[in-house]
Amino acid sequence: MKEDAYVIGVDYGSDSVRSVIVNAGNGKELATSVFYYPRWQKGLYCQASENQFRQHPLDYVEGLEHTIKACIAKAGTEIASKIKAIAVDTTGSTPVAINQQGVPLALLPEFAENPNAMFVLWKDHTSVQEAAQINQHATQFSTNYLQYVGGIYSSEWFWAKLLHILRVDEQVRQACYSWVEHCDWVPFLLTGGNDAAAIKRSRCAAGHKALWAAEFGGLPPNEFFSSLDPLLQGFTERLFKDTYTSDVAAGNLCQEWAQRLGLSADVVVGVGAFDAHMGAVGGQIEPYHLSKVMGTSTCDILVAPNRDMEGKLVSGICGQVDGSVIPGMSGLEAGQSAFGDTYAWFKNLIAWPLHNLLSGSSLIDVQTAGALREEAEGKIIPELSRQAALLPLDEEAELAIDWFNGRRTPDANQLLEGTITGLNLGSDAPRVFRALAEATCFGARNIVERFRAEGVPVEGLIGIGGVAKKSPYIMQMMTDVLQMPIRIHQFEHTCALGAAMFAATVAGLYIKVEDAMEAMGGGFEIEYQPDANNAEFYNKRYQRYLKLGAFTEQMIVGADEFASSNG
């Protein structure tokens, strides 16, 4: 291991992309840069009320170039010649329609403003109907093609999104040659790919979202999809059969991107993966320790030796895939569709006057109004947390369900909605915030209990991501609710660090990614311990949460069935 070897990890999140340059010998960060997607920041191509969330590929391309060049400038241009590899993680499932050359349709002039030609962000739920049809259709086959995704296909995933786009947009349908995940397209871009058939597909993305399994010999057969809808005829042939773990190289940096970034064409580019899976590696995941990437949503990742998972299928989770996190181990994924998004929704709700009234004030000028709004918004969540922590524990307090963006796990159902009960004239903002925080923690407990009920032990928790680092109040509540310690990883940009670890492995600096984890990890900065005095209180509140959730689900499902039966 040479001391002067450096690698780049690129982490695409929901709102921004972040790149880091890391010393491959010890994991120390030399430079980091973040780029907020400008089109996304303006709310372009999205309709939140319709659950439509699309992102333009130019946001991704511009962010990739900006952050890597900024990192090199910060670290010093002499570092550029010592960078050995780049690896990328992204949100998922976030796929896009491409032509035969592998170009996203939105990068073509005729599709530049068409949301259906853009990346369909993970949180886009416009394909709820298609997901339901896939679930019903799968029951007609002797082979259970949903067995490795917990038995339920989600509207957040690959095939449901493809079918929806093909159905609603004839122009895109005619131009769409294939369909590719964000984490697979960026390495293809960096390596100068020009043939969609040559895209190296990530084992992580393919197994967890696209129904790929070695046991099936690849994807389900064409008949499975064409008999669901003739629009899917032939797509399996134009997609992929083989998949690759992220310790495999996608290729070398092409001349165009080497020049754009100021790097050598000898730089190796690794096969991509989803952010939570690389984040688990960056957070130094251990077998049977649940890695919780806590941001806008949560992605919960657990790894287990393959021998322990033989013949074992966990129902109601997002997937279990050999090699999706660490090659040679089974990666199991679960999560919550809204976590930080729940707190952000409540912040925006109570900040409505700041956005809609302050700018029209006759008492202060526009510049002062803007500064005041920014200052107040930045204090809302920290002050709510402080005030909520002072409230006495009360079994009869306001209670909430955390399905504000549907339910990811256990048992995916994106039609479900959030609930807040027990409101009265004494219900103020801290009390409601406490109920929302409890709900997200109870949702986390529900996931842990599903793993255990299915025979998969959860021996510890590892917290990474923005909420884990910034909210001691929620972390302490979570450890009390779960009655398990939670270790918070010291590295701020853990997903990007995980990508850097894979980059170091792809470059040949380490034989396997576990070696990179050990050398580059850095350990944990804090460990929250559960308060045993609160265990009984949260046990009782959790049982109320389960009952309220069951009632909420019954009401929503019943209403949908009633609406369907009455035309």
CB atoms within 10 A of CB 457: 14
CA gap 281, 518 in Å, rounded: 10
Q: Is 293 exposed, middle or buried (0-12, 13-18, 19+ CB in 10 A)?
A: buried
Strand partners, 19: 10, 33
Q: Is 382 a residue whose pLDDT tops 70?
A: yes
The string of pLDDT tens digits covering residues 206-222 is 999 999 999 999 999 99
CA gap 451, 337 in Å, rounded: 18
Q: Is 562 exposed, middle or buried (0-12, 13-18, 19+ CB in 10 A)?
A: exposed
End-to-end CA distance of the chain: 67
CA gap 280, 284 in Å, rounded: 6
Residues 6+ apart with CB under 8 A from 472: 385, 528
Residue 565 pLDDT class (50, 70, 90 cuts): low
Q: What is the mean pLDDT of residues 74-85?
A: 95
Q: Is 8 a residue whose pLDDT tops 50?
A: yes
Q: Is 250 a residue whose pLDDT tops 60?
A: yes
User: All domains of the chain, ordered by start, with CATH?
Assistant: 6-283+491-525 (3.30.420.40), 340-489+531-565 (3.30.420.40)
The string of pLDDT tens digits covering residues 415-470 is 899 999 999 999 999 999 999 999 999 999 999 999 999 999 999 999 998 899 99
Q: Is 562 a residue whose pLDDT tops 50?
A: no
Q: What does the pLDDT read at residue 494?
A: 94
Q: Is 559 a residue whose pLDDT tops 80?
A: no
> What pTM was estimated for this model as a whole?
0.91
Q: Is 103 a residue whose pLDDT tops 90?
A: yes
Q: What does the pLDDT read at residue 274?
A: 97
Q: What is the mean pLDDT of residues 21-46?
A: 97
Q: Is 295 a residue whose pLDDT tops 90?
A: no
The string of pLDDT tens digits covering residues 178-195 is 999 999 999 999 999 999
Residue 566 pLDDT class (50, 70, 90 cuts): low
